[in-house]
Amino acid sequence: MKSRAVRIRRQMDDVHGDHRATWRMANNLLHGNPPVYHDDAECAKLSTSFSNYFTEKISRIRENIAAALESIPSRQF
């Protein structure tokens, strides 16, 4: 609990003097969303979704690089 208080104090110190930022920080602290907890099945589904997303993204990047390299005329030194 002490580390949370220290974190909040640091955040408030960081925005000291900036009234808008102080208000935003206080509003977030007072009206922030409660943490969301997932059960094991939801965690497994989320991790699989993240894994698929990044695997597909890397595959698309690899394909784009290959296509770009094919379109560049080869040079011989």
pTM of structure: 0.47
* Average pLDDT of the segment spanning 3-12: 85
Per-residue pLDDT tens for 49-75?
A: 999 999 999 999 999 999 998 888 877
Q: Which two tokens stand for residue 51?
A: 């894994």
Residue pair 31/41 in contact (Cβ under 8 Å)? The answer is no
